[in-house]
Chain A
Amino acid sequence: MKLTLHVWRQSGPTAPGRFETYVAPDVNEHMSFLEMLDVVNERLTAEGKEPFAFEHDCREGICGSCGMVINGRPHGKTGLTATCQLHMRHFSDGEELWIEPYRAKAFPVIRDLIVDRSAFDRIIQAGGYISARTGSAPEANAILVPKPAADWAMDAAQCIGCGACVAACPNASAMLFLSAKVSHLGLLPQGQPERYERVQRMLEQHDAEGFGNCTNHGACEAVCPKGISLDFIAKLNRDMLASALRAPVAQE
């Protein structure tokens, strides 16, 4: 099949960007979307032009590196998939595609389709962990975790940190990402000691990074490649409320 691609080109964070148009004349339905882009880039290279940059690594939907907005939708139209596992059989001959980077204040463009998502790392650094010094752990089966809790925690823990939720949100909120981590850790007995302090600190960092507030649109859940549920945001809100009502955690 033949496709027309309008790809966002931008040489740096402050440089003005624009769409450039390329034709992909020989797209095979078995290709992945990124392989289709590879072929276009290989042709640009052979013509002595500079290929467009896009982030990718594992190409099996787990590292969370890839992510772009395809015709207005992060990771494209199929749902429950990262861009790297989107296959060309879902497209048809003659289609025109607009390919853009994620657009959010907290995710500045680095180049072309690549954005800076280090804000996510800083949110985790603010409290998205359970403190467990190496070597200090008790025997694993000494901590019993009811199967439903473990399964539910795993549903949340699956988040790959790709940032599609932010790109889809009209407020550019990262609440789905944040709630997934808060829920993963908060559902487990090991996560209880730091549970309420964690939620406060992570939320504070979330706001400081310039992400917007959650107004329950649900666009995040719709584009999440791992199907992280909006219920986790409700859970986050309950933890947030509970933490506000509790006596403040003793500070040093």
Chain B
Amino acid sequence: MELNAHVPSGPIESKWQRHQFDMKLVNPANKRKYNVIVVGSGLAGGAAAASLGEMGYRVDCFCFQDSPRRAHSIAAQGGINAAKNYQNDGDSVHRLFYDTVKGGDFRAREANVYRLAELSANIIDQCVAQGVPFAREYGGTLDNRSFGGAQVSRTFYARGQTGQQLLLGAYQALSKQIAAGTVQMHARTEMLDLIVIDGAARGIVTRDLVTGETKSWLADAVLLCTGGYSNVFYLSTNAIGCNATAIWRAYRRGAGFANPCYTQIHPTCIPQSGDYQSKLTLMSESLRNDGRIWVPKQAGETRTADKVPEGERDYYLERLYPSFGNLCPRDIASRRAKEQCDAGRGVGPGGGGVYLDFAEAIGRLGRRTVEQRYGNLFEMYERITGEDPYTVPMRIYPAPHYTMGGLWVDYNLMSTIPGLHVLGEANFSDHGANRLGASALMQGLADGYFVAPATLGHYLASTKLAKVDLDHPEVKRTEEEVANRTRRLLDNPGKRSAMSFHRELGALLWEKCGMARNREGLTEALRLIPQLREEFWNDVTVPGTGESLNQSLERAGRVGDFFELAELLCRDALEREESCGGHFREEYQTEDGEAQRRDDLFAHAAVWEYAGEDKAPIRNTEQLDFEYVKPAQRSYK
């Protein structure tokens, strides 16, 4: 597998500018001759489809939800970073770039990160112009808040619903294009496979989730904007429908899968309450701006929070990381919470939680200010737990939330399959081994509004594609494979639901490949997952038919792919014999329990290549060079 990142030469500050000039263009009148498929309608997909449609391309956009407005980007709460330096606190493109590379534990490609930081300011401009109601100061200018892993205030927000407002902005731009006829929207339509002809991505096979019809679509290029794979853990903060099928099928057709073991466990989620639980609810990281995290010093403490005197509380993040305190990066905050709970100092039912306390903030700022900043989050917490966080500290625990790993892409966001571009969380590009808060929205929109619309034209203008039609044997073959898989699931004479298998897989993965991993556990997981997968294919039952809306069938197909992905995740975690960001190998830690990178051996992206059914995948590497940010032991002390 050839891994050429196609990073433009020259100083990092001018790479993107120069590249934009060097890239070939498609003449405005010729754009309508190109057909582009966009899969997914979240921040990356919605923004890309809208922008490409506006530029004149003929776009087909697909989403499995009933409307493009429902993509899971909508659930992002806290905010979006941008190097505007509106606070005059020393922010700059270079600082955002630096913070992101460092936050990612020096496992991202510098040139991509720099471009992201550079484009961040344009995103805010674009969103404001669309009418995104960001929070404002009294003078009418934009307000900012702080987020983990940064010492400047660069996060723009719309109450606790920033993702919703940004997505609605993209959705509205997309809606305009749908009305204009430049974008054909296909809702309730799920991509089940990628069509590769003569080595290039030329289309997709979908299932209409209402009628069950399997159909092929052809195009000159395909953009996957299908999000991450946290749901491989079953319990995560992702929406129930989030799945890895699109990227997994692309992987099986030849797209390299980079760093699957880089998964992010978000520190501030509402703890699990029972076995029936279907998802975990995130409380925005912005809460860590004013909330203080603590556990009782005494293991096995039975008193309620208000009965534990100040001197018997351990504000462990403030103690361990005096300069960043409660705002240390997510991976660290999560692991330290697990450590406290494992040591028996956890709080709440089963000891699976730590306190996030606002008493001090309410005393300092007054209840009114706290209400203005976090009111909707407090309400949500109360709705779910039945406890009032204004009077009782919140209980939080880490949960799978985001995946930094994803399909490998070059500087142009193109995967190892020519024509297959991958945007947003679905790719691996910008966050290294750990993503900083408020950077996911930034990346999705940078990719969708600005990067892909520029690089896609270059691909189309510099590639000669043969004309293909729906009778092409490769189209027929792919369709048939999809139909066979569906039939196999429907005809299976098993007894267990796909959901029950998913739950079991998730529990296994969380145990062996969750917040902390080790050789023994991963080896065990690699033995158990194939067994469970076989059991799944032998014993899953899918009620109903393939010719109608069938949620059991949708679930089963996704779970089938999660099984394969889970195995690759563990394999990658096993082979990466170091700790970095969200990947923490217990064997590799410093004396005080921090992640220990091994730059001499692992300063690379691991890119997995599919080798065929029941064959071990091949591990390729892309060396990462750090010219501008010198790798160092991350310190948030």
Residues of A within 8 A of B (CB): 11-12, 28, 30-32, 34-36, 38-39, 42, 44-46, 48-51, 53, 55-65, 80-81, 85, 87, 89, 110-111, 114, 116-118, 120-121, 124-126, 128-141, 143-147, 150-151, 153-154, 157-158, 160-161, 184-185, 188, 190-191
Residue of A30, A49, A62, A116 contacting most chain B CB atoms (<10 Å): A62
User: Does B165 sit within 8 A of A, measured CB to CB?
Assistant: yes
Segment of B133-141, B251-259, B615-623 engaged in the interface with chain A? B133-141
Nearest residue, chain B, Cβ from A56: B240
- Which listed residue (B131, B140, B175, B544) contacts A121, Cβ 8 A? B175
Determine whether the beta carbon of B66 is less than 8 Å from that of A118. Answer: yes
Q: Which of B28-36, B118-126, B423-431 contacts A (4 or more CB under 8 A)?
A: B118-126
* Contacting residues, chain A, for B458 (C-beta < 8 A): none
Residues of A within 8 Å of B345, CB to CB, are none
Interchain CB contact (< 8 A) of B133 among A28, A42, A150: A150
Set of chain A residues within 8 Å of B66, measured between Cβ atoms? 55, 65, 116-118
Cβ–Cβ contact B176 & A129, under 8 A: yes
Q: Given that A48-B543, A59-B239, A87-B384 are contacting pairs, would A140 and B175 also be in contact in the complex, using a CB cutoff of 8 Å? A: no
Give complex CA distance A60, B74 in Å: 10
Q: Are B142 and A140 in contact (CB under 8 A)?
A: yes
Do B500 and A42 touch (CB < 8 A)?
yes
Q: By the criterion CB–CB under 8 Å, are A134 and B65 in contact?
A: no
Q: A12-B548, A45-B552, A134-B126 are known contacts. Are A57 and B140 too (CB-CB below 8 A)?
A: no
CA gap between A143 and B139 in the complex, in Å = 11
Q: Quick check: B274 and A30 within 8 Å, CB to CB?
A: yes
- The reply to whether B67 and A59 form a contact with Cβ atoms under 8 Å apart is no
Chain B 52-96 against A: per-residue CB contact (8 Å), 1 yes, 0 no?
Answer: 001000000000011111101011000000001010000000000
Between A and B, 15 residue pairs with Cβ closer than 8 Å are A31-B276, A32-B384, A45-B552, A50-B543, A57-B70, A62-B163, A85-B380, A85-B384, A111-B549, A118-B66, A129-B173, A134-B126, A154-B158, A190-B129, A191-B131
Contact with A along B272-287 (1 / 0, CB 8 A): 0110111101100000
Contact present for A144 and B141 (CB under 8 Å): yes
Q: Are A45 and B159 in contact (CB under 8 A)?
A: no
Q: Which 5 A-B pairs have the closest CB atoms?
A: A144-B140, A129-B172, A137-B129, A132-B129, A137-B125
Q: Are A126 and B383 in contact, with the CB atoms below 8 A?
A: no
Q: Select the residue from B65, B72, B176 with max chain A CB neighbours within 10 A.
A: B176
Cβ 8 A contact of B70, one of A64, A89, A137, A157:
A64
The one of B74, B84, B158, B165 in contact with A58, judged by C-beta atoms closer than 8 angstroms, is B74
Q: How far does the alpha carbon of A147 sit from the alpha carbon of B383 in the complex, in Å? A: 28
* CB of B254 to closest CB in A, whole Å: 30
Q: B60: shortest Cβ distance to chain A, in Å? A: 16
With A57-B239, A110-B549 in contact, do A137 and B128 touch (Cβ < 8 Å)? yes
Count A-B contacts at CB 8 Å: 217
Q: Contact at B278–A38, with CB atoms within 8 Å?
A: yes
Would you call B50 an interface residue if the criterion is a C-beta within 8 Å of the partner chain's C-beta atoms?
A: yes
Determine if B131 and A35 form an interchain contact, defined as CB atoms under 8 angstroms apart.
no
Taking a contact as CB atoms closer than 8 A, the residue among A39, A51, A62 that contacts B552 in the complex is: A51
Flag if A125 contacts B548 (CB, 8 Å). Answer: no
A145/B497 in contact, CB under 8 A? no
Docked pose: A157 CA to B159 CA in angstroms: 11
Contact of A157 among B51, B67, B86, B165 (CB under 8 A): B165
B499 at the interface (CB under 8 A from A): yes
Contacts of A57 in B (CB 8 A): 65, 70, 72, 239-241
Q: Within the complex, what minimum Cβ distance (angstroms) separates A21 from chain B? A: 19
From known contacts A118-B187, A121-B67, A145-B140, infer whether A87 and B386 are also in contact, taking CB-CB under 8 Å: yes
Provide the residues of chain A in CB contact with B125, threshold 8 Å. Answer: 137-140
Q: Enumerate chain B residues within 8 angstroms of A30, measured Cβ to Cβ.
A: 273-274
Which B residues are in CB contact (< 8 Å) with A12? 548
State which of B130, B137, B187 has its C-beta within 8 Å of the C-beta of A130: B130
Beyond A128-B172, A157-B133, 20 additional pairs, beta carbon < 8 A: A42-B500, A46-B496, A51-B551, A59-B278, A62-B161, A65-B70, A85-B380, A111-B549, A121-B67, A121-B187, A129-B175, A132-B129, A135-B450, A143-B128, A150-B133, A154-B135, A184-B131, A190-B129, A190-B130, A190-B131
Cβ of A137 and Cβ of B126 under 8 Å apart? yes
B146 within 8 A of A: no
Query: Which B residues touch A42, using CB under 8 A?
Result: 497, 499-500
Binding site for A on B (CB under 8 A): 47, 50-51, 54, 65-70, 72, 74-75, 84, 86, 122, 124-131, 133-142, 158-159, 161, 163-165, 168, 171-173, 175-176, 178-179, 185, 187, 210, 239-241, 273-274, 276-279, 281-282, 379-380, 383-384, 386, 449-450, 453, 495-497, 499-500, 541, 543-544, 548-549, 551-552
Q: In the bound complex, what is the Cα–Cα distance between A178 and B140 (angstroms)?
A: 26
Complex Cα distance, B210 from A55, in Å, reads 12
CA distance A161 to B175 in the complex (A): 14
- In angstroms, how far is the closest chain A Cβ from the Cβ of B331? 23
A45 near B541: Cβ-Cβ < 8 Å: yes
A51 to B125, CA, bound (A): 47
- With beta carbons under 8 angstroms apart, the residue of A28, A51, A62, A120 that contacts B164 is A62
CA distance A64 to B165 in the complex (A): 13
B231 vs chain A, min Cβ distance (A): 11
- Interfacial chain B residues near A151, Cβ < 8 Å: 136
Chain B residues within 8 Å of A53, by CB:
549, 551
Check if A147 sits within 8 Å of B138, measured CB to CB. Answer: yes
Tell me, in angstroms, the Cα distance from A203 to B240 when the chains sit together.
34
B173 touching A28, Cβ below 8 Å = no
| Whole-angstrom CA separation of A35 from B273 in the bound complex | 12
Q: Is A124 touching B50 in the complex (CB atoms < 8 A)? A: no
Q: A residues within 8 A CB of B277? A: 35
Best-buried of B130, B185, B277, B281 by chain A (most CB within 10 Å) = B130
Most chain B CB inside 10 Å of its own CB: which residue of A30, A58, A190: A58
CB–CB A35/B278 < 8 A: yes
Residue ID in chain A nearest B383 by CB atoms: A85
| A50 CA / B545 CA spacing, docked (Å) | 10
Q: A121 touching B69 by the CB < 8 A rule? A: yes
A49 x B164 contact (CB < 8 A): no
* CB of B379 to closest CB in A, whole Å: 8
Q: What is the CB-to-nearest-CB distance from A62 to chain B, in angstroms, rounded to a whole number?
A: 5
Whole-angstrom CA separation of A120 from B106 in the bound complex:
45
Residues of B within 8 A of A65 (CB): 65-66, 70
